[in-house]
Each structure stands twice: as C-alpha cells, then as structure tokens.
Structure 1
Amino acid sequence: MNDITKGMRIIELVKDIMKAVKKISRQQFDSLELTAPQGMLLGHLCRYGRMKVSDLSQKMGLTNSTVSGIIDRLEKQGMVKRVRSQEDRRVVYVEIMPEVKGAFEKNFKDMERKFEEILSRADEEEINTILTGLETLKKVLERYTKH
C-alpha cells in the first residue's frame, strides 16, 4: 500500500467511525428532539457552564455563524439563553436553561454508558491499541498543522 492509499484509508476509517458515533449519538438525542450539533452544544454548556459563542465555536470546530444558528434554534425551543456581559456589552454568553440541564445530563450519562458498554466488548489490549492509534494520529495531525 503506498502513502496516498494509506492516507485515504485513514480518512475513510475516521469518516466511518464518526458516522457510527453520530448514529449512536443521534439515537440518544432523538428522544430530546435534538440534532447531533445541538446535543454537542448542550453537552459543552453542561460540562463547562456558560460560554461565549466564540469559545463554543472553537470547542465544536464550527464557525461562529454556524454556532449562532444552532443557538438561535435552541433559544426558540427555550433550551438556552443568550446573556450579555455586564463588563463588556459586546460579549455574549450562552447558558443552558436549568430545567433542560437536568434532562440533558441524564441523557448524556445514558450515552456515556452506551459507549462504555460498547467498549466493554473489547479486551484491554484492543482498547490500548485504539487509544495509542488515535493519540498517534492526533499527534501527527497537530505536527502538520503547526507548520
């Protein structure tokens, strides 16, 4: 296998893995009538508390305008709200509504358990191989993007 073929195979595998993760995640988010990006955004807010739109964008790997659109839809559903900073009115934070947070955290924990169940079917050597491979891929990609 030459390098181009290996590179394309890695891309295909990552794409297939992401597709499977999205499918599993979608099953969890469907019960809350959320899209995967909406679920990801709520997950970040649950984990980190209120955040600036720019920080959410960075964490999600999406543009500010894309994240703003997701926030708009969640705001219309009463799941999040925008709050202007008292110190700098140009800064806008997003926070999850308290009543949504509890339901979402339960759903998120269910999804975590599902992934743990899936991974429990692998032995320790397989888990270590997966982690080593993913960490190596990340390191190689980061090394490339720093140049």
Structure 2
Amino acid sequence: MDIQEFAGKVIELFPQIIRGFKQYENNYLTRGEITLPQFWALGYLDHNGRCKMHNLANHLKISPSATTGLIDRLILQGLVARKADLHDRRIVWIELTAKGRGIIKSISKQKNEALIKVFGKISAKDREHYLNILEQVAKITASLPDKK
C-alpha cells in the first residue's frame, strides 16, 4: 500500500474509531457540553495546576484572544476560575474548580475503561506494536513547526 492509499484509509477509519469509542462514554465531552480544545485546556490545568493565560495559549497553540474566549466559556460552566495574584495585581491565574477537576476525573476514567474494553480484545504483542507506532507519531508531530 502506498502512502497516499494509507492516508486515505486512515482518514476513513478515524471517524469510525472515534464513534466506536464514544459508545462507551457518556460525559461532558461526548455529550458536546465542552469542546475538544476545552477538554485539552482542562487537562492541562489538571496536570500542571494553575497557570497564566499565555502559558495555556502556548500549550494549546491558539491565539491569546481565542484562549480568553475558551476560558470565558469554561468559567460560565463553573469548570475554571480566574484568580488575581495576591502580590501582583497585573497577574491573573487560571485554575480548575472542584467541578472542573471532577469532570476531568470522570472523563479520564471513562476513557480508560473504554480503552481497556477495546484493547483487551487485541493481543499484548499487537498492543505493544500499536503503542510504539503512536509514540513515533507523537514524536514526529511534536517536532513539526507551528503553522502560522
């Protein structure tokens, strides 16, 4: 199979795979209550703790104004909060609320359970091979220059 045919097949399979995994989950993300970029922002805050808006924008690779809009929508849902710095009022921190932490925990648990159900039907050798390929793809995509 040449690379063009491979790319076409991957493009064809991705939506099918995503729909398949979605049947194992019922959460804010799968119900469309938060977007994928909002989920990534919540995950970043969960993993890294509070941060400044520009750190989150850099991580998400979106503009500061788009990040502000994204955070505003998460604030309206009660998932994140803005907190003024106690020592420098020019600094505003973004942090998860208890509700936001609960949502991330719930989504992560459901994703983990779905992965176990699906990949439990695949041999350990094939899972290891698949993981190796995913790690290679992650390494390649991490080294790509930002698209401006």
Relative to 1, partners in 2 of residues 1:134 and 1:107: Cα closer, same or farther, differing over 3 Å? closer
Secondary structure (helix, strand or coil) at the match of 1:94 reads: strand
Q: TM-score, normalised by structure 2?
A: 0.70
Distance 1:105 1:63, change over 3 A: same
Larger displacement relative to structure 2 (86-95 or 75-84): 86-95
For residues 119-146 of structure 1, give each alpha carbon's deviation from its aligned partner in whole angstroms, at most 9, with x where no partner exists: 222211211221222222344445664x
Unaligned runs of 5+ in 1: none
Indicate the larger mover: 56-65 or 109-118.
56-65
1:84 maps to what in 2? 84
- The Cα of 1:107 is off from its aligned counterpart by 3.2
How many residues end up aligned between the 2 structures? 143
Please give the per-residue CA displacement for 1:36-75, whole angstroms capped at 9, x wherever unaligned.
2222222222222212222222333333322221101111
1:13 matched to 2:10? The reply is yes
Q: Counterpart of 1:45 in structure 2: which amino acid?
A: L
**TM-score when scaled to structure 1?**
0.70
Q: Separation in 2 of the partners of 1:67 and 1:11? A: 32
Residues 1:116 and 2:113 are matched in the alignment = no
What is the SS of the residue equivalent to 1:93?
A: strand
RMSD: 3.4
In structure 2, the partner of 1:28 is 27
Structure ranking higher on relative contact order (CA contacts 8 Å, 6+ apart): 2
